[in-house]
Structure 1
Amino acid sequence: MSESTSKRHLNVAAAAIFNQNGQVFLSRRPSFVDQGGRWEFPGGKRRPYETGFEALKRELFEELGIHVRRAQPLIRVPHDYGDYTVVLDVWAVHDFSGEPFGREGQVVRWVDVDDLWHYNFPEANQPIIRAAILPSYMMVTGEASSNDAFAESLEEALTEHHLKLVRVRAPELAMDDYAQRAEIAVELGRKHGARILLGNRDEQVKPVADLVESLDASGLYLTSHQLHGLKERPVATSRWLGSTVHNEQDLIMAEQLDCDFATLSPIRPTELCRDQTALGWHDLQEWVAPRRLPIYAMGGLEMDDIDHARGVGAQGIASQGFFWTVR
């Protein structure tokens, strides 16, 4: 009997349940079960005749006493524990009735999203933590005629669209000039509660990584070219690490480098990516399914595309043109 057929396989529906304060609900596994004593996102095994959403609704009522009205796909996580494999079909739940409590006697609590890193989860839950923290859309900054124009466009976008994740991109600037833009962005990010990731062109990674540290930016963002030139994660795990990816090999490299998320493009034809074939929604779904990291869709997309992107397994969308006003 082969290793693949001898292993037990589990399909699990799980939920990141959010309240109006943006907190997420956790339960603690009993000490006498596998992975006992660790915290987890509530859920349970999917029965053979159930869809993922049907299993989700049943499990959350049985475990927590709530009725799920609506839910949105968050991330699908395959994981190999050695003696068995599991696929976690995870949903974001914002619309439910009832107050969740431990119907089976389990310890439960509401947790601030940014505090999730402090809890001891099973290994398979790590990508879920990232997906729960990350927003459903990300902005990439565009051109600006001056630093003042850049600051005006960035503050406008942060205010109007309530952005929580921004990549500072300015390939036309030399490193010293880019550092000035980055400092402006980090200050505005702190003001508006947004995570600012730095990453510029295909130059050496270390100067930008050092800039992340000196400015105390939220993290580093890599181009696909930079991704393939690295053998280890270039920033500490306390910083966010994202990367542009264009194909399946890029995605594999992003996982090996322990990127926290990736941006896959182009989904639709764009002038910027005119030399690359647009993936479309079907290929996006195929490429996202086996991956363990949150993936944003990018290329010709707008806010109306978020539900479609989430529906095929992506974290959401990334965009420049939709959010950014050139000045």
Structure 2
Amino acid sequence: MSPESEDSGRLQIAVGVIPDVRRRQVLIARRPDRARHGGMWEFPGGKQEPGETIEVALRRELLEELDLRVLAARPLMRVAHEYTDLRVQLHVWVVDEWLGEPRGMQGQQFEWVPVSALHERKFPEANLRIISALQLPELYLITPDLSSYGPEFFEMTRTLLTAGVKLLQFRSYRLAATERPEVLRRLSALCRESGARLVVNGDPAEARACGADGVHLGAARLMGARDRPLLRPLLVGASCHGAEELRQAERIDADFAVLGPVARTRTHPWSTPLGWPGFQKLALSTRQLPIYALGGLGPQDLDAARQAGGRGVAMISAIWSAPDPAAAFRAGLGQEAVS
């Protein structure tokens, strides 16, 4: 049974995320007042008809609704949701190329809205996971694992945040426990100043105490979790290496996962790389969860990650060990599609 038809009890809906990359906006439409969820905003799309694939349904709906002819699109995620009287599954695709200018073919209102402002509009509940995924940047930076973090580290962190880092994970196994609070306090302050979000690889209580924006669960902590450790809007990320961990990340309702290693790494030479085919197989099997590719990757791998079904790329040495870390990160920003 294909993923598109895996739950015949749900109404299958094709959804298009149509970005204006230059302005960092997406197209949304307002539902008619008399329709279900009347007056709310949504991402354009509609029901899959018998005999259609999701991609065919998406192309048909966007042509009928907005007079847009889709040239290139790729899957982003699936969202299963239960309303009181209806079970739906949204198949969300990013439309990278199209012909035409959008116009409301059925009289509907539509607007280009910054991704950062989507939460200001009222959407049906099933759309909220899409918004959360879109507000995750495609480049996820992880700190190097050091035994001490001195002035040079904090100055470089400030430079990278200025260069455009929007999601930073603090990960250190070598730093003494007594020194972690001060390092995290300083990182939290830097991220707040720049409008970036900080997640802590470690204990959820530690993340709350330092004022971070969330927690990143290592594989062992993930598998030991019984439920989601932090309430939204705090983020919960998860490190995964295979299908079992991805299923657990979905079960605890994590916001995103990191999957790898995709390539062989200097720090983990004993780990067998997934390769892009292995990453894609796992990513496409768990489309409820935005997934970052990790392991021997850099900004140059962003398009490969997208094509393999990933949200983006998580990076460590490709940035921190670059001759000019800020320039290396900015090069990746130029390739971002939706964020």
- Using the size of structure 2 for normalisation, the TM-score is 0.79
Give the aligned partner of residue 102 of structure 1: 104
Cα distance in structure 2, aligned partners of 1:7 and 1:51: 16
Unaligned runs of at least 5 residues, structure 1:
none
C-alpha spacing 1:5/1:65, structure 2 compared with 1 (3 Å) = closer
Displacement of 1:39: 2.4
Choose which of 148, 154, 158 in structure 1 pairs with 2:157.
Answer: 154
Give the aligned partner of residue 15 of structure 1: 17
Cα distance in structure 2, aligned partners of 1:208 and 1:7: 42
Displacement of 1:114: 2.8
Choose which of 235, 238, 255 in structure 2 pairs with 1:240.
Answer: 235
Alpha-carbon RMSD across the aligned residues, in angstroms, is 3.1
Choose which of 167, 174, 187 in structure 1 pairs with 2:169.
Answer: 167
C-alpha spacing 1:5/1:247, structure 2 compared with 1 (3 Å) = closer
Displacement of 1:121: 3.2
> Any idea what the Cα deviations from partners look like across 1:152-172, whole Å, max 9, x if unmatched?
232333344x22111011211
Give the aligned partner of residue 91 of structure 1: 94
Secondary structure of the residue aligned to 2:23 is coil
Displacement of 1:58: 4.8
Secondary structure of the residue aligned to 1:91 is strand
Q: Which amino acid aligns with 2:62?
A: L
Cα distance in structure 1, aligned partners of 2:11 and 2:322: 51
> Any idea what the Cα deviations from partners look like across 1:247-275, whole Å, max 9, x if unmatched?
21211111122111110111112233334
Give the aligned partner of residue 330 of structure 2: none
Cα distance in structure 1, aligned partners of 2:113 and 2:8: 38
Displacement of 1:123: 4.2
C-alpha spacing 1:87/1:312, structure 2 compared with 1 (3 Å) = farther
C-alpha spacing 1:22/1:135, structure 2 compared with 1 (3 Å) = same
Choose which of 298, 304, 307 in structure 2 pairs with 1:308.
Answer: 304
Displacement of 1:194: 1.9
CA contact (8 A) 1:74 1:315 kept: no
Give the aligned partner of residue 208 of structure 1: 206
- The correspondence of residues 26-41 of structure 1 with structure 2, limited to 5 A, is 26-41=28-43
Give the aligned partner of residue 129 of structure 2: 127
Larger mean Cα displacement after TM superposition, 31-40 or 253-262: 31-40
Identical-residue share of aligned pairs (%)? 33
Give the aligned partner of residue 329 of structure 2: none
Aligned residue pairs: how many?
314
Q: Which amino acid aligns with 1:211?
A: A
Give the aligned partner of residue 334 of structure 2: none
Q: Which amino acid aligns with 2:228?
A: R
Larger mean Cα displacement after TM superposition, 178-187 or 309-318: 178-187
Unaligned runs of at least 5 residues, structure 2:
1-5, 324-339
- The correspondence of residues 260-299 of structure 1 with structure 2, limited to 5 A, is 260-291=255-286, 292-299=288-295
Q: Which amino acid aligns with 1:156?
A: T
Give the aligned partner of residue 231 of structure 1: 226
CA contact (8 A) 1:78 1:290 kept: no
Displacement of 1:6: 6.2
CA contact (8 A) 1:77 1:124 kept: no
Give the aligned partner of residue 77 of structure 1: 78
